Amino acid sequence: MAPPWVLLDRKVNFVDGGFAGGAGKAAPAIGGSSREPSLEEAVAAMEPHPVVADPPEVTCLSMLRQTPAGHQMQRGGVVSSTHKGLVVLYTGMYGPGKGGYSPAGCYLFYDASSDSLSAVPQLDPPTAGRPVPALPTIKCLGNSAAILRHGGEEEGAYVLAELVTTFHPGLPDAELYLWRRSSPAATSDSDGGASSAPSRAVRAHGSRVCWVDLLAGVLICDLFTPQGPEFSFVPLPQGRSLHTPDNVRLGLKTQEFRSMGCVRGAIKFVALIGYTATSLSKSSNVVLETWTLPLDSREWKKGPAVRVGDLWASESFSEMELPRVRPMFPVLSMDEDEIVYVFLNDIEFVDTADCFGQITGRQLVLNGHYAVGLDLAQIKVLYSKGSATNNLASLAPTLLASDFSAYLHGSKDRV
């Protein structure tokens, strides 16, 4: 039985396998036509291949091409968000506003319950009023495409919400674009009060979606109020905002030390406090803490917090022979309130020498990579999965907690 939720790798590879000839051979996958398939047809004709694993192991999603590998340079995609068995990706290098830099790309929807794919063309806002019509006037805010399975007469109905901003300096206005499965025409609503720069889309509850800035707060949108989409912004807990008015951003990847997600109908925030201000030699002083925001409230409630040094000193940590290194890339469990998954990278720098034995520099070596499940309330390591690899890509995982696994092949009710 598939797990109720997984740690899904956001990177999706498109691989060869189904193609065995020219456009005519791929015709059955795109409706029997012998013409060259469009980008959307070629992408939607792929075959999804999820490789599901129980957390803390990582689940991967790949797509098997049914058309030539070189078709419009589609090599992969990036997962933006998921909801009730639906997964939405940006394919290729596409992102709203990239314009001529990324002509090949679209939205790709994967429905785990029916094991099907569908594609939507790039967002194309009106050209009226553009100083240079060929240039884009909008840009996306990180992975900002949010998918919401929406009940209706049509089976599998859903809504795509994309939040974009302008290229002008200063605090931007944000514009919301909605695409409904039963209506291919996109509609937009403008919200001049959105002063944050959300970087992640998180499905919240019912008809609400969220866009998260891990340095500032969460923008909540109820898509289907009688008056139209309704926005509200909730700052991070007091003292936890790292957002600066002049938009100076940290050089670190924010996901290294912060994350947010939906856990049992509430928004949860997890952060490694002191991560950016503490040297590696003093990592024991970093604190892993959690906060909960009920959807009917604007007040964060503090949850369990664990000092890294206390975690290292715990009996379970010693029994599993884990390295005493700083935890990174926290991810919240979707169905257990006090459970957080983190990654431990056991790295060292070794000297490199030439053929004469002279030291020429230093090289980073990854001795081990561990995915660990923690119970913060009990200060206990519940699960651990280690891998001895020198693949430096594993140093910075790009993961998303997703329940799509519970809907595979119609195993769970869609509504």
Q: Tell me the domain boundaries of the chain.
A: 258-395
Task: Indicate whether 126 pLDDT > 80.
Answer: no
Residue 61: pLDDT band with limits 50, 70, 90: very high
pLDDT at residue 40 in the model: 82
pLDDT at residue 106 in the model: 87
Percent pLDDT > 70 in the chain is: 72
pLDDT at residue 183 in the model: 42
d(CA 199, CA 218): 10
The tokens for 121 are 């063309």
pLDDT at residue 180 in the model: 85
Mean pLDDT along residues 359-377: 88
HSE-CB at 160 with a 13 A cutoff on CA atoms is: 32
Mean pLDDT along residues 395-405: 91
The residues, any chain, with a CB within 8 Å of residue 248's CB and separated by 6 or more, are none
pLDDT at residue 235 in the model: 94
Question: Is there a contact between 268 and 261 (Cβ–Cβ < 8 Å)?
Answer: yes
Mean pLDDT along residues 17-36: 50
The tokens for 233 are 């912004």
The residues, any chain, with a CB within 8 Å of residue 78's CB and separated by 6 or more, are 10, 11, 12, 89, 90, 143, 398
Cα-to-chain-centroid distance, residue 254 = 13
d(CA 415, CA 404): 13
Average pLDDT, the chain: 80
DSSP 238-297: TT-----TT----SS-GGGTEEEEEETTEEEEEEEETTTTS-GGGGGG-EEEEEEE-TT-
Residue 186: pLDDT band with limits 50, 70, 90: very low
DSSP 39-73: HHHHHHTSEEEEE---TTSEEEEEEE-SS-TTGGG
pLDDT at residue 102 in the model: 54
HSE-CB at 278 with a 13 A cutoff on CA atoms is: 18
Classify residue 24 by its DSSP letter: T
Question: Is there a contact between 196 and 213 (Cβ–Cβ < 8 Å)?
Answer: yes
Q: Which residue has the higher pLDDT, 169 or 156?
A: 156
Q: Which residue has the higher pLDDT, 333 or 359?
A: 333
Q: Residue 152 to residues 6, 108, 155, 156: CA-CA distances in angstroms?
A: 27, 21, 7, 8
Q: What is the pLDDT of residues 194-252, one digit of tens each?
A: 333 445 565 555 688 989 989 889 999 998 888 988 999 999 999 998 865 554 555 56
Residue 155: pLDDT band with limits 50, 70, 90: low
Q: Residue 116 to residues 113, 365, 395, 410: CA-CA distances in angstroms?
A: 8, 41, 32, 11
pTM, full prediction: 0.83
Q: What is the pLDDT of residues 138-151, one digit of tens each?
A: 677 667 889 998 76
Task: Indicate whether 329 pLDDT > 60.
Answer: yes
Task: Indicate whether 26 pLDDT > 50.
Answer: no
The residues, any chain, with a CB within 8 Å of residue 386's CB and separated by 6 or more, are 368, 369, 370, 371
pLDDT at residue 188 in the model: 42
